[in-house]
Chain A
Amino acid sequence: MTKDERYKKLKDIIKIYLPEDVSVANISMESHFINELNINSANLVDIILDVEDEFDIMLENEDMERMQTVQDALQIIEGKLD
C-alpha cells in the first residue's frame, strides 16, 4: 500500500464523520480532527475503530491521545504497518 493509498483510505473513513458544513475537500494533511474538521470528539473513538478495521492494526491508548491531526493518524498507521 502506498502512502497515497493510505491517505485516500483514511479520508474515506473520516468523511462520514464530517459535519454538514465541512466537505472532503477541506481535509488536508495538517487538518486537526476536532478544531478544524469540527468532528465531534465522541466520534474520534469511532474513527479509531474504523482505522483498526481498515488497516488491520490495533491502536494503543497513547496512539489515540497522539492522534490529533490527519498527519498524526497516517504516521501512527505507518508505524503499525511496518
Chain B
Amino acid sequence: MAERVVITGLGVCAPNGIGLDAFGEAMASGKSGIRFISELKQLEFGCQIAGEPLLTDNRINRYFTPLQLRGLNATGIIYGVLAGTDAWNDAGLPKADAETPDWDSGILFGTGTLGVAKFREAIHLIDNKEVRRLGSTTVIQTMASGISAYLGGILGCGNQVTTNSSACTTGTEGILMGYERIASGKAKRMLVGSCSDSGPYVWAGFDAMRILPRNYNENPENASRPMSATAAGFVPGSGAGALVLESLESAQERGGKIYAEVLGGAVNSGGQRGNGSMTAPNSEAVQRCIIEAVRNSGIKNSDIDTINGHLTATAKDALEIENWSRALDRSGPNFPYINSFKGLFGHCLAAAGSIECVASVLQFEKNQIFGNVNVEDLHPEIEEQVDRIKIPLKTIDYTPKILAKASFGFGDVNACVIFKRFID
C-alpha cells in the first residue's frame, strides 16, 4: 500500500509577491509582477518587459551567510533558497543539527539553466586568460544541481538531494518525482520546487525566436494575455516556488498543517511526433498525460472542479483547452473552472510549474479561484469549448475540491498533477 502524500509547507519568490502572504494577496487581488526592464531596452530586445521578483539586500541577507553572498551572482539560487527555506519553515521543520543530517528528508529542486550571469562573468575571465581569478564558487553556482546543493547544505537533508530539468515542465514534474519517492516509502519528506534565473542571458533566446510580445513595452501589465484573442506571446519571467511533500503519517505525527493532498499524476512525452515538435506539444500525448493522471489518482473526470493550465499566452492556448476538453470529456458549462496565472507574472520557465502549483494549492487554503487577467477578449475558439463563467476574470469565492495542474515543456514533455483538498 502506497503512502499517502500531503503538502505541509509552501514557499515562493515570485515576480508579483515574495513570501506566501504577499504572493497570496497578489494572486487574489490580481496584482501584476510584469514590469519594464531598462536593461532589455539597452540591449535592444524586442520584448523589454519581464516578470522578475523584486528583492532587497535586506531580505537576501536573512537567508545567506556573508560568505555565501560573496560573489553570488546566480539569481536562480537566490530565489530557490528563499522559496525552499520558507517552505521548510512554513512546515515547521527544523534544520538538521551540525553533526547529523536528516536521513528521512530529501530535496528535488529543478532548474533549466542556473547561474547564467555567473557563467558569463567566468567566460570573460577565461577568455582574458585569467582562469586563476575565477574563485571557488563558479562551479557550484553554475552547475544545474547548485540549487539543490545550496538548499541541501542549509537544511541538512540526508535523503536524495537532486535536481530535475525538463524545461517548462520542470516544477510540476518535480512534484511528481518527490511524490513517488514518498509514496514508495523511500523518504518521509521531500522539499520539491524549481527556480529560474532572471536576466537577458536567459531570455534572449526566446526573444530571438520571436515568441515574446513586442508591442507592450509601454504597457507591461497588459502584455501577458493567456486565452485571449490578442495573445501575443509569453512574457518571460523568473523566480522560484517550493513545496514540502510529506507522508501523511509523518505529517500527522508532527501535527503539522496540511494544505492539500497530492493524489498522483503522470508525466510523458509526445516524442516530437505527430503535431509535436521540439517546441510544440503533441496533442495526443497531452491528452494521454491528463487521462493517465486522472486514472493514477483514482478519481473520475467529473471530480475535477478546477484546472490550472499551462496556458502561456500564445496561439497554442486554444489547442491546450481543446486537449483538456477532450481528455476530460467536458465542455461548455460542464468544463471545470480554469485559470492561468501567467497573466500576472509571465512565464517563469523552469520555475513556472512550482510557482503555479504553490498558487494552485493556495486556492484550497483561501477558498478562492484566482482570476484571469487580460482575457476580456476571450479567444473565440476557446469560447466554443468553455463557458465564459468557467474562466473567471476576477477572483471568485469557491471551495475547490480536486484541482488538476499541467505543465508542458520544450522537448515535447508533459506533466499533470492532481491535488485534492485534504480530508482525513
Residues of A within 8 A of B (CB): 16-17, 20, 42-43, 45-46, 49
Contact = CB atoms under 8 A, between A and B. Distances in A.
B64 to A, nearest CB: 12
A45 B135 contact: yes
Contact of B135 (A16, A20, A46): A46
Nearest 10 interchain pairs by C-beta: A42-B136, A45-B136, A46-B136, A46-B135, A16-B67, A16-B66, A43-B136, A49-B135, A17-B67, A49-B133
Nearest to A52: B133
Contacts of A46: 70-71, 135-137
Contacts of B66: 16
A46 B136 CA distance: 6
Nearest to B69: A16
Interface in B119-158: 133, 135-137
Interface in B231-258: none
Contacts of A49: 133, 135
Which of B65, B67, B137 has most chain A Cβ within 10 Å? B67
Contacts of B71: 46
A61 B67 CA distance: 24
Contacts of B65: 20
A45 B134 CA distance: 9
A17 B137 CA distance: 13
Contacts of A42: 136
Nearest to A45: B136
B137 to A, nearest CB: 8
Contacts, number: 17
Contacts of B70: 16, 46
17 contacts: A16-B66, A16-B67, A16-B70, A17-B67, A20-B65, A42-B136, A43-B67, A43-B136, A45-B135, A45-B136, A46-B70, A46-B71, A46-B135, A46-B136, A46-B137, A49-B133, A49-B135
A57 B181 CA distance: 52
Nearest to B66: A16
A21 B133 CA distance: 29
A13 to B, nearest CB: 11
Nearest to A58: B132
Contacts of A45: 135-136
A16 B133 CA distance: 18
Contacts of B137: 46
Interface string B60-75: 0000011100110000
Contacts of B67: 16-17, 43
Contacts of B135: 45-46, 49
Contacts of B133: 49
A51 to B, nearest CB: 13
Interface in B15-66: 65-66
Nearest to A59: B132
Nearest to B140: A42
Interface in B61-111: 65-67, 70-71
A20 B153 CA distance: 14
Interface string B271-282: 000000000000
A53 to B, nearest CB: 10
B291 to A, nearest CB: 49
Nearest to B65: A20
A20 B136 CA distance: 19
B135 to A, nearest CB: 5
Given A43-B67, A45-B135, A49-B135, 14 more contacts: A16-B66, A16-B67, A16-B70, A17-B67, A20-B65, A42-B136, A43-B136, A45-B136, A46-B70, A46-B71, A46-B135, A46-B136, A46-B137, A49-B133
Which of B65, B70, B136, B137 has most chain A Cβ within 10 Å? B136
Contacts of B136: 42-43, 45-46
B33 to A, nearest CB: 34
A42 B68 CA distance: 13
A42 B149 CA distance: 15
A40 to B, nearest CB: 8
Nearest to A17: B67
A43 B135 CA distance: 8
A42 B137 CA distance: 9
